[in-house]
Chain A
């Protein structure tokens, strides 16, 4: 009557172990596929770009002559753009998250706003470009300056920052805020002293990852109209500007005319990748250093 006996188990053992091994290699292969493509990409970029990647290239001005062209203008443009995007998204994003999580009454309006924020996170970036063109560049008459581009980019990544901040706030055990309210702290004192300090690492991680998305975005800036060849460096947020990914885009287009432009594009990609690598490492470091255990 014994259904599970040793003979049956032994008979099926080999096939079970074989299946186990096969599945392991299938998953290994899918991991390797991504890695292989990434390695090819990085190899191509470095082999094409490393010849142009030198100090003159990093510090020089843009030029139509490939051998004289430098990327400093775009680096400064990207920096000025982040100078606008970082504070605007942090303030609006964290503010919205605090309001939705801690002040807004749970109800129809709150869930309506919540659903729309989630939807906005999925809207294509070019749509934000059209929004930025209409509102900031034309209606507010900023034109194609850093401020207009920065505000547009802020809108683009705002939903990501809001959702990340909300999650960071929600992850705080309610017993902590209860302890604070129980001591007679006001809501703002509780937010200031307990909720924000505890949620900050999570908020920063989300914000930095969102910034690295903004650094690599091109479409909204194409719509706002970034000049293809801009010689002077931008000196502030009211100047015309270009950014690293825009320069990659234009040089890749121009490589049909002059093959050397492709090398410049590859060298610019190296600069952009280094910037992204630094940002993402910072995010991971913040997450690991300040992680709270409750």
Chain B
């Protein structure tokens, strides 16, 4: 579904990603872990099309298409979704207006019939229920007056509504208490299917107790320095990141000589 090859990227001239290779297949859940500033969020944002970053080398192929040549809205229409680490507030635009516009723009792109108001409303009700969100929220402005946890839930609600092929979850667990974490994870688990994929970006192993990854990658200083199964996440929880770093130093030394 997604193939990232030798991806290099900079922001304001500073190199953040220094050669990322990653392959995600339909039906898989991948987790990217790593310390702060390692480039995890950058990677998710480049896939979603954030224009603040400059890709200096490499390519991203999504469902056979060159993603880097598309604007963010087309990537979304092709099936990429990013749940933001810091969701944005949009006063004066209701959740209903926002989501209905988004869904219908995606439908238009695929030459599909737009949702009727009735269809939209029943879909919204069904999905809100999964996330334990009140119906009143539908008419409230996007993320305005929401707590940190509510904003994260709203991101997952948007994901369920838009039903993407690839969901990128950027630190969705941060700022969530245990109950909210369970609700959000449940939403993601209901979403998971054979024909879609999830990439979880997280600092902590905690979320991965609820969303079981098939693959775990450790990102450090702009490179994936270790990949493994879900047991890698547990190992990181136990030992931290330090035990891997020497390997990196070693490999760099070897590389240089």
Partners in one complex: no
On A, residues with C-beta under 8 Å from B are none
